[in-house]
Structure 1
Amino acid sequence: MVASPADTQGPALAPASPPPVRPASDFRAALKDSSSVGLALFPLGIALGVLVVHAGLAWWWAPVFTAFVYAGSLEFLLVGLVAAATPLAQVALTAFLVNFRHVFYALSFPLHRVKSGWGKGYSTFALTDEAYALTTGEAARSWNGRRIVWLQALCQVYWVAGGTAGALFGALVPARLEGLDFALTALFAVLAVDAYRARRDIPTPVLALVCALAARFAVPGQMLLGALGLFTACLLIRHALTKKEPVRA
């Protein structure tokens, strides 16, 4: 018998599988993703630390707030509440109203990509405005859970480091630095522009602007909560109307 070419070549080799993504690669990618956000979070954290010491609190309150509360705008309010010895019930109500927007974030945040239990727990705790904006964009659809958790952790590192530095050197810094409070607003403006460039959906930003203006005049004391609720309702109505449109051949 004459051996066939397949017999003389030996067993067929299995196709090579792609190399697994190393955790170090996820860290480096997250560091690159979060670097622009850190440029705003670190100086804003400094402002919080300065506010802590100028409110008469010990410097270590800044790392406590930034590490365990980690709620951005709520922390600025919390400094005054703690300094005034505000009742716990009022603090809890304030925290609920300020952070109620996170309920809407949870609807589309990619928590399902985080596999480990501790990772899910920390990712839920560290779900901030910046983390949501970065992880729900078009470019982040391929990110795995490790990269998402690393990004959130790095964002908190910037915040804790800035708050601690501001508290330690707060006595050398004026109580108010003009323009520093605009850093976070500028950050969200840039993130909004990037989101529009990734998905050029003109009705969405126009609708958001209309909802913000309506809430500004209807409920000026709770503009953020009113705008978010109205915007969510409008998006649900828009989705329902778009879904019912017949598909054109």
Structure 2
Amino acid sequence: MGLGLLPLGLAFGVLITHAGLPWWCASLFTAVVYAGSFEFLLVNLTLAATPLATVALTAFLVNVRHVFYALSFPLHRVRGRFARTYSTFALTDEAYALSTGEEARSWSGARIVWLQVLMQLYWVGGATAGALLGSVVPDNVTGLDFAMTALFAVLALDAVRERCGDLPTPVLALLSALTARLVLPGQMLLAAFTLFTAALLARHLATRKRTTEGMSRA
């Protein structure tokens, strides 16, 4: 995962430099904001001197998915107030994907926190290096803007492979995303997560009802 975050951080650092912002903004954004895709949006918001209220609303809409992550993230294993605070702050898509997998069920809280620390170091280091080297990267380089999409695609593929026996779940996720894209394109992410959560709840209730009926017949 670190090898994936490093070039992604480099791409973000190069974007910072080409946008005309000082190099240290890359270090500041990645260390303090640390919100992945929102940081890419924050570059344009900063250049446009967007009001803080608009920035806050944008941040909420982009990162509202973390509310759903918290439902199954193993924060209960993390001990200590500081460690739990940092683990909550550093709950990224990558951290969630790694710490909720089948192999991670036996991981200790310390391992989860160190996983998050190392991933942020990769992110901060890559962005800082990209910003410092951004002046030598030509403006016509293509593909840097696809780095974030590529990383999410890999995370999705890994999730599907790990849950190969549960095919309806990725199907529900895909249908939720497509429906949200067609019905509410301006609020696609929030709408997709809401639909996906409703679909999972409906499936859970239907499964429990069938199980109860089967037990009563037996």
Partners of 2:119 and 2:204 lie apart in 1 by 32
Aligned: 1:228 with 2:193: yes
| Alpha-carbon distance, 1:192 to partner | 2.8
The answer for the alignment partner of 1:108 in structure 2 is: 72
- Greater gyration radius: 1
| Alpha-carbon distance, 1:175 to partner | 3.3
Letter in 2 for 1:188: F
Aligned: 1:42 with 2:6: yes
Aligned: 1:192 with 2:156: yes
What per-residue deviation string (whole Å, max 9, x for no partner) do you get for residues 93-114 of structure 1?
1111111111101000000000
Within the candidate set 190, 210, 213, 1:245 is matched to 210
The answer for the alignment partner of 1:93 in structure 2 is: 57
The answer for the alignment partner of 2:178 in structure 1 is: 213
The answer for the alignment partner of 2:132 in structure 1 is: 168
| Alpha-carbon distance, 1:82 to partner | 1.2
Q: What secondary structure does 1:236 align onto?
A: helix
As a proportion of its length, which structure holds more helix?
Answer: 2
What per-residue deviation string (whole Å, max 9, x for no partner) do you get for residues 46-65 of structure 1?
11111112222111110000
Aligned alpha-carbon RMSD (Å): 1.5
TM-score w.r.t. length of structure 1: 0.81
Partners of 2:15 and 2:144 lie apart in 1 by 12
For this pair of structures, how many residues does the alignment match?
Answer: 213
Letter in 1 for 2:143: G
Partners of 1:176 and 1:110 lie apart in 2 by 43
Alignment gaps of 5+ in structure 2: none
Contact 2:11/2:147 (<8 A) preserved: no
Alignment gaps of 5+ in structure 1: 1-36
Partners of 1:51 and 1:187 lie apart in 2 by 17
Partners of 1:118 and 1:176 lie apart in 2 by 44
Within the candidate set 162, 168, 181, 1:203 is matched to 168
What per-residue deviation string (whole Å, max 9, x for no partner) do you get for residues 172-208 of structure 1?
1123532233333333333333333333201101111
The answer for the alignment partner of 1:24 in structure 2 is: none
The answer for the alignment partner of 2:99 in structure 1 is: 135
Contact 2:26/2:127 (<8 A) preserved: yes
Partners of 2:57 and 2:162 lie apart in 1 by 37
The answer for the alignment partner of 1:61 in structure 2 is: 25
Aligned: 1:124 with 2:88: yes
Partners of 2:192 and 2:103 lie apart in 1 by 26
